[in-house]
Each structure stands twice: as C-alpha cells, then as structure tokens.
Amino acid sequence: MLDQLLSHVGEESSRYFLRYWFQIRGDRLMPERRDIDPTALAPLLPKMWLWDVVPERRDFRCRLAGEEITALFGRNPRGTLLGEWVPMSIVDVARPRYQRVIDEPAICVASGMSYVADDKQAWCERVITPMTEGSGPSPAIVFGITSWRAPDFVPTKIEREETTARFFPLRLTK
C-alpha cells in the first residue's frame, strides 16, 4: 500500500511523512498519537498539523499546527474548530475529507489550488492520515502535512477548495 500511495504524491515532504506514518504504524491498522517522535520529523514539523475529532459536533479541533502554517495564516489555530479557522466554503470540503479519513479509515492525498489566508490561494499537496488516541482502536485524530508552493500565492477571493482528493482505505497488511 505504501508504494501505491507514494506513486500519488509529488512532494518529498509528503513521501517522508507517509514513510514515517507507515513505520510507526507497524502491523496495526494505524498508529497512536504517542508513537510520534518529533525529533524523527524535525524537518517536517513546520508543515504538519493534528486535529482532534469532536464527535458530538462531527467536527475537528486543532491540537497542533506547524510554524509555516501559523506564518502563512498569520495566526495559530490551536484550540479552534475547523469552521473557526477557514471560511465555511473551505470547511464544506475539508470536514467531509477529514471525516472520511476517520470513518473508513483511510489515507487522503489531495493536491491543487488551495485556500491559504486573506483571500490568497496557492498550489498545495496535503496528506491526511488517521491516528488513535490510545484509548481504543477507533481513530480520534487526523494527522497530516501540507506543502504549499510558495511564493506562488495568488491574491484572489477563493470561493471553494479546488483540490482533487484520492482516498486509500487502510488494510492491516503493509
């Protein structure tokens, strides 16, 4: 499955992220949050993020966002709900993707023109993976990386996310 996923990503940071995710996953369906070793991901940390599932709202709350994300958006999303972070037209695309990653569970690879902030957009590649919190086998976190092609930010009012997403259902076999 890893080879199949790698054939669908172009950014080296996405490849590194996926290899690491599969390494910490081991023979389980998905890794636990506590499996993450930030020192192993040091070069990727500025582009990475974690969103906790908020099941009673069918929403997601930001636990962590890397420095590149904070700089691009001009604020830190930590503690905010997805709908408080980006415009609803973007949430209407992102939330179902995150939810599908949790529900199936699956890995999502998306790329294309994406909302950045302040009516800017840029090409990006995003990898979204599920993780457990350790309290059971069900996913409770979406863990991912976003790579933007800066400085190609286009000032425009983006009405919707223009990325194409592919989903790869998880199986117990590597």
Please report, for the domain that includes residue 30, its CATH number.
3.30.450.20
Residue 64 lies in domain: 2-35+46-169
Domain contains 174? no
- Nearest-angstrom CA–CA distance, 58 and 95: 9
Domain contains 11? yes
* Angle at CA of residue 132, ends 59 and 93, nearest 5°: 30
pLDDT of residue 57: 84
pLDDT of residue 51: 98
Domain contains 154? yes
Total tally of structural domains belonging to the chain: 1
pLDDT of residue 65: 97
pTM of the model: 0.92
Cβ-contact 126, 144 below 8 angstroms: yes
Domain contains 41? no
Residue ranges for the chain with pLDDT beneath 50: 174
pLDDT of residue 155: 58
pLDDT of residue 171: 84
CA distances from 141 to 35, 51, 82 (A): 13, 6, 13
pLDDT of residue 136: 75
pLDDT of residue 160: 58
Residues 42-70 as b/e (b if ≥16 CB within 10 A, e otherwise) read eebebbbbbbbbeeeeebbbbbbbbebbe
pLDDT of residue 157: 59
Domain contains 19? yes
Cβ-contact 114, 123 below 8 angstroms: yes
